[in-house]
Structure formats: C-alpha cells, structure tokens
Amino acid sequence: MGTHHHDAPATPDELAARLRERGLRNTPQRARVLAAVRVLGHATPEQISESVPGVDVTTVYRNLEVLEELGFVKHTHLGHGAASYRPAEDDHIHVVCHTCGAVVDAPPDLVDALAQRLRAERGFVLDRSHFTVFGSCAECAADDVPGEQTTPAGR
C-alpha cells in the first residue's frame, strides 16, 4: 500500500520552501527542470535538457540530483544507458519490452506478494520505484512465436 508523502504535485511555493530549508537557492532552472519532468513523465536528463531551452545537460543533472534529494523526482533504470526520471508522486512499476523498447506503467501492487515474501523470508525491503520487469510486449511476443499470426486450417 502506498504510504507516500508526495500524493500531489509540489507547488512552486513548496519547492521554494524545501530549497530554503536546505540552504539552497530557488533558481528558475530548478523550477523549469521539475516542470519538464512533470510534463514528460519518464525522461532522461538529455530529453529534459532538450525540452528546456537554455538549460544544458550538466545543469539538468545537477538539478535532478537536488530535486531527488528533496523528494520531488525519482529515477529508475529502464535498460542500459541514462536513468529515467519521473515525478515522485507517480508511483508505478515499469514493464519494458526488450525488442521494441516500449515502456508500460503497471500498478505497483502487482509486486506486493513478491515484496511481502522477500520481507518475510529474507528481511529484504523492496524499493518499488526501481522495480523494472523486462520481457516482450504482446506485439513482439506474437511476432516471435512461429505460426501464431495465422490460424491453423481445419482445427
């Protein structure tokens, strides 16, 4: 069950207040990077930088680090390469197709039984924000199974 302290998107005032608490400045770049993450949903720092004119990728990386420390964004790895960032309140797991790269958001409670068993048997606490499942989407799986696209005659 989600006992998450970020149920609603943070307001600009909340961002400013949390930055002040840490002795950090509220820069326009930070607000723009956070806004881009909210619009894009899942995005690499490079994609965020492309969507925020005038903010280079190094600045995006630095700001994402601060925003994650403050609890406004989360990152996950959806394969090889750069991490993907999303708003912290966007609680879901990821299902990624190895073949076409499609990313599907799935409800986090799909892994509740696994999380409970890991905790009971091993004392391990699962971090669902980093939970990604890899496999084949329905379309790619159908393409991989010989004869699946045609119906056998006379059966």
> What pLDDT does residue 48 have?
96
pLDDT in tens for each of the 155 residues of the chain?
A: 333 334 456 677 888 898 989 888 888 899 999 999 999 988 999 999 999 999 999 999 999 999 999 999 999 888 777 888 998 888 888 888 989 988 888 898 899 999 999 999 999 998 887 788 899 999 999 887 655 444 444 43
CB-based contact 34:59 (threshold 8 Å): no
> What pLDDT does residue 10 have?
67
SS (H, E, C) 44-75: CHHHHHHHCCCCCHHHHHHHHHHHHHCCCEEE
> What pLDDT does residue 5 have?
39
AA letter at 116: Q
